[in-house]
Structure 1
């Protein structure tokens, strides 16, 4: 590369901030004077190859053919090194790496193709025979060898020193299991997702853990309270039958015979809350559960605000909290019912109380995904989001800036060096969560 392109590449890597626990602080590994990357750990190299390098090369790649090769290699290793492998997808993965090597032969010189480059052809077959790759990596063994070397005190008898140090470590490990308090065997994981909740009953199954200092809000803004309450009524499964009953009554009114889906959504948003409150007051039937009564009574005007939240294995921070941090935990993506993915950044976290039930909301800065001025999907499969094009800001009553804490996944954004407003979205999977698939059948269990 020329110096100008090297500067662009190093700038992208240096300014890249990944979520907590994803990778190291890349800003320490980039030397802008010499334009080099140093001090990377093995895992950091994987993250750069699979996620960051293709995005960085978008702004300085020499040719389209070269960029296609890099993207194909990144996708190959990302799928191969994932924690869960689908056997049916491995055959397609094998075909893709063969085509990638053929494309590489068109671009690179013959001296480039060493044994290590040819080894990629056999990696898929190894995964079929041995299972997921990360169980067979040498990195844990290399770290254990370093620890064993550190036990040597007498260089004349290294074997005895290692044996004696290992025995002492085993004794301390055994004793620590019976100590009171927090030890490395009893401490929680980095991003815990507790199944029980000590703060009261939550309305939804996915229960998270607040982090940071909780701030009690004396009085919520009326418009914010109405918007949040409408969102709960529209997306609560317990109210499906009552929403249909409400729409049936509205359609019987004069002038409402040919209502569209948008009209139905508007009716539910504007009038369903008052209708539900009156129905619960007048009707004392068996279908009115305690949860429905709590929803109809509307939430308390006092809430609790957090600066961080852990749920589904993700550690979320608000934009204001991560200011000055080297990590980025505010990126969110929400897959709507219509199949559209909405991208944004977390701006506020607050908790509303419905009698014995509580709901945690994420208020986000959502960006326009319906026009090219707000989102672009390029020929290499990357999604670019324009931070200057915001939607559902909450200024209007009909806006929806909220989602439930259990409805979003985490992403992180890599800034375009040529335009501050445009950022490339990169998906991120939690490090401590494994996809175990569906429930096994009785035959598989036996």
Structure 2
């Protein structure tokens, strides 16, 4: 019926005449995916030379779920690989989109003083210089890779870690580049266990594809020029949060050398009472002639004339990786202790198999969104004195005493009494913190805090606001490199050492990455890596579960009639097609009215209350009834649905089910 309707609406369009014909068109487009079996301990993929094995050659784990019949063997773990070639072919099948794929070279406005697109950034320009043959054809694709883990069941009580890998094409103009329809799913790495350092095992099919696109190219038809050409593609960088940064890059983002940009030059101190590392000493990021370089009393009581850590090139990183010992993948191996020479390297990243990877100026992006969120949380929890979250506590003051600076904030001992001198006066999502940090916090602190404290926080908010702009001024971003070092130094004079976790320190490297990679919105961690696939699962559940339940109950009724109650059978068969609507009803002796019915009455019966479950901490939800619907099932069974407006921050609308 839908196909007939479409043919009527678009008589000149070539549309299929049946569902079967439309399915054959889909297969003709080759938009499918491959299932690749994996070792349950993440040692290998049963792929290529291992395709015919029945057990892992490393850990001897079986490929198949035990106790299954030979005729229906079930693999223990399956990687889903979505080939890149047909997905790139789709971009060139439509003439308009094929033209837009050349926008970055043929239509992009050139302005040396501003950056609106990654093509304006230094990393892109350096890549063009190093690989001039690649830039000769504007259609050659530049990709970004985004990945993170999420729980597909949306229930933290059921831990399950699944990793989607999404590719982004940067050839497109800004108004198309980051749209959902141009994101390409490449891999879905299965759980239930966290992939961790073994993620390289699952990235092999994608890296092999990228190698083919780089070295050989793939024949492609361009609908805009009506010609066939050889398409090449290159991966420009990865987009991820900080833990995933460590997994993909091979540099551990924990412990003493947690900062991948500072590398072995990371400045850190272990807090004896706080039981963690802090990352301070930002005055050595200031210019050598800055007056604060000699103001030792403002910081840790020592002059610091070190220069900031040098930026490592790809060749420097390869030299460090030569010191790395043998790394074996798989959960069956014990964790290997790193030697001093290995620094924080945990593996030789699989991305170094790409010939151009070592020449890139920016390989992995620090995620501005999560850095901003963590800094905001540290500030807010400290200012609001939130129990368990505040960074200024007794342990922080004890650590200050051990470090020997900021003596005015040390604990005061008066006999058996200990006092803590006053220094300053959950659940927010990343976007909430983004808005609060850039718009509300500067207003909030202006009239409350001491002038020097308020000024430092306002400058920090201004820094993030400028950094997250859609168009970046090149000269302003260069100035930001000095500004953020100054701001962090001011914060060191205000907040205790425990405030300066690794996420606070990473802010000092964000301006440089903006110069190399361009505007933040093209390199931020893509949140839909977390929510897109769960939404697909929820949609599939909503559309397919009713039919599955009906068939299941009907089959069960045939094989075991006594096991299926009348209520269950009626529910599985579904309600009748017609429904009744009322302005009032009586259920279990209780009268309910619609809110509209009570506009001219003095009494009220439209209120409802529902107690939540453990996921909502058993909180009560209050609402009013806007509509009452009666569903009819077989056997004179009735179900009432109340459409309500809920007075709750979690939900806007909901339905309360009441059965008779």
Q: What's the TM-score once normalised by structure 2's chain length?
A: 0.18
Larger radius of gyration: 2
* Structure of greater relative contact order (alpha carbons < 8 Å, 6+ residues apart): 1
Please, what TM-score do these two structures have when normalized by structure 1?
0.26
